[in-house]
Structure 1
Amino acid sequence: MNSLVARTARIPKLNRFGWLMGLYAENHARLARLFAPADLAAGHYLSDIGDGLALRVDVIEQHRYTTQLRLTYAMPDPLTGEPDPSAYLRLYHDTRQLEATHCYVGRRWQDVIGMYPPPAELISHRMRMNTFLGKWLEYLAERGHGVATLHPQREMPIEIQKTA
């Protein structure tokens, strides 16, 4: 009986921060399989699978160790006129992680939870955003989006230019 208790006591527990880092790694793998963004030049891309919801992938900046992107549907929010849903992403090539930095135009974490949130609240907010991102990426893959459906766009529509 003591050996059973001793074996279970050695299993490390995953804290919320560790869970978040694992989520970043899973989302990196999902996005890399979908669109291989590390290989894309800065610019605007459209993935259209013929369902009426074209997905826009904007590669905002491409650096040696990071890529900044935005995923959104090419449809505006009726209240703000901004693309919605919209997720701004930071892809870390060296650590193979993908972080959703904010999920709505003008709604960075500071706008949602304030300038000085407790660390637990900040981690909870990031977990919600990145869980949303993971589910969205799974949905996109199930619908058929991917490298084969992604095509460069010459110009952005006006409503998207305002926020880029």
Structure 2
Amino acid sequence: MMNRRYVPDLPEQNALSEANFLRLEKLLGGLKNSHYDFQWFGRNNEPVQVHAEIIERFKFTSTVNLIKQNSALPKPMDRVQLTIRMYHDARMAEVVTWDSGRQLSGVYPYPNDRMYQIDEKAQANVFLGEWLAHLLRHGVAEREWTPS
């Protein structure tokens, strides 16, 4: 049996990063504000809240925290937090941390101490894309705050 090394599919990952940038830009209205709250109703009509906060703004990058809370789910599934870096010049966005953890690596050895999959970062970016697409389809903005 041959042990094959994982090689990321860069064109696929770049396309996903570009799509996620566009989704975030649309959802956050071009990042004019610093805080955004959204809500949709899940199964059994329970509210699912999403809070977005722009925590850093620079000329070429912005960093966004997205936090989803669903009180109908058991802990620890009731809360998911992603930190996303947006690259304005390249028009790409990627997940940099998951649940306030350390920065995600592009490839992980397997097995590893954190039990990450070999392609954990790619999976996190797919998850982000699905989550943003769902939020754009079903989410309702509750309120926005202007930067102080």
2:33 is equivalent to residue 40 of structure 1:
yes
2:135 is equivalent to residue 144 of structure 1:
no
**Structure number with higher strand proportion:** 2
Aligned pairs, number? 128
Q: CA RMSD in A?
A: 3.4
Change (3 A) 1:16 1:59: same
Shift of the alpha carbon at 1:123? 7.9
Unaligned runs of 5+ in 1: 1-14, 154-164
Shift of the alpha carbon at 1:30? 1.1
Aligned to 1:20: 13
> For residues 8-34 of structure 1, what are the alpha-carbon distances to aligned partners after superposition, in whole Å with 9 as ceiling and x for unaligned?
xxxxxxx70121111100111111111
Aligned to 1:30: 23
Per the normalisation by structure 1, the TM-score is 0.63
> For residues 10-68 of structure 1, what are the alpha-carbon distances to aligned partners after superposition, in whole Å with 9 as ceiling and x for unaligned?
xxxxx701211111001111111111253224xx3322357622210011111111110
Aligned to 1:161: none
Change (3 A) 1:61 1:123: farther
Q: Which runs of 4+ in 1 moved over 6 A?
A: none
Aligned to 2:53: 58
2:82 is equivalent to residue 91 of structure 1:
no
Per the normalisation by structure 2, the TM-score is 0.69
What amino acid sits opposite 2:16 in the alignment? Answer: L
Conserved 8 A contact 1:53-1:74: yes
Shift of the alpha carbon at 1:79? 5.0
**Structure number with higher helix proportion:** 1
Match of 1:102 among 93, 97, 121: 97
Shift of the alpha carbon at 1:78? 2.9
2:130 is equivalent to residue 135 of structure 1:
yes
Aligned to 1:4: none
Identity %: 24
